[in-house]
Amino acid sequence: MATYVLIHGAWHGSWCWDKVVHLLKGKGHKVEAPDLPGHGKDPTPIQKVSLQAYVDRVCKVLDAQSEPVILVGHSMGGIVISQAAEYRPERIKTLIYLTAFLLQNGEFLLQIAQGDTEGLVLPNLIMAEDQSHATVKEEALKEAFYGDCSDEDVARAKSLLVPQAAAPFATPISITEKNFGRIPRIYIECLRDRAISPSIQKRMYTALPCRRVIPMDTSHSPFFSAPETLATHLISPEG
């Protein structure tokens, strides 16, 4: 049996993984799905949220495990797991990017997102006056994130989303081939994603090749719309 650490994306929290956590635990696996600072039930003030704070939280979880883990990052969570892998390569068995930002050394999330002419997130951002955080227009949430999800899941998600700190979006990641590069990578691409368009996903995993690319015919949130299929891919990422 394996140990999974599941890292959510922007605006979300550990709650988005609930269905997948249930399925993985049902197969006898150990699962950790932490709230990143400022997300879910974590009380960190948004002014103190940074990429480093995210990574420190993940490293703390990794250090507490008895064996190397399968570390999964969704969307923005991709930059978090990449940076954590640089700091704790010996604590990670496999990195799995779920329609996630897979960046090269020195790149930052906003840099890639701004080149996504098909994505719906940036055109629908509402920035705070002080530019410290952002939300997404309510009327755009379903199409951007949850296109194939049930009304029940969409309603629950909307009730739990939180403002997203801007700082992590603009912070370059710092990774090396010696540390990050030694860990096997898997990419799960979502072919109906309107948050990170399929063309951008492909551009990222082509620039930084992965051991395997697994297609899913879903929106940005397969943990809601196709949890059984997603869990199967996480359990057997090598096919």
Give CA–CA dist 3/29, Å, rounded: 6
User: What tokens were used for 93?
Assistant: 């068995």
Q: pLDDT (tens digit, 9 = 90+) per residue, 25-64?
A: 999 999 999 999 999 999 999 999 999 999 999 999 999 9
Give CA–CA dist 176/186, Å, rounded: 18
63: exposed, middle or buried (Cβ count in 10 Å: 0-12, 13-18, 19+)? exposed
pLDDT of residue 237: 84
User: What tokens were used for 190?
Assistant: 């979502």
Give CA–CA dist 125/120, Å, rounded: 9
The residues that bridge with 176 in the sheet, in sequence order, are: none
90: exposed, middle or buried (Cβ count in 10 Å: 0-12, 13-18, 19+)? exposed
Q: Which fold has domain 3-235?
A: Rossmann fold (3.40.50)
- Domain residues of the chain, as ranges? 3-235
In Å, how far are 138, 142, 148, 151 from 155, measured between CA atoms? 11, 9, 13, 6
Along the 239 residues of the chain, how does pLDDT read in single tens digits?
A: 999 999 999 999 999 999 999 999 999 999 999 999 999 999 999 999 999 999 999 999 999 999 999 999 999 999 999 999 999 999 999 999 999 999 999 999 999 999 999 999 999 999 999 999 999 999 999 999 999 999 999 999 999 999 999 999 999 999 999 999 999 999 999 999 999 999 999 999 999 999 999 999 999 999 999 999 999 999 998 76
Q: pLDDT (tens digit, 9 = 90+) per residue, 181-211?
A: 999 999 999 999 999 999 999 999 999 999 9
184: exposed, middle or buried (Cβ count in 10 Å: 0-12, 13-18, 19+)? middle
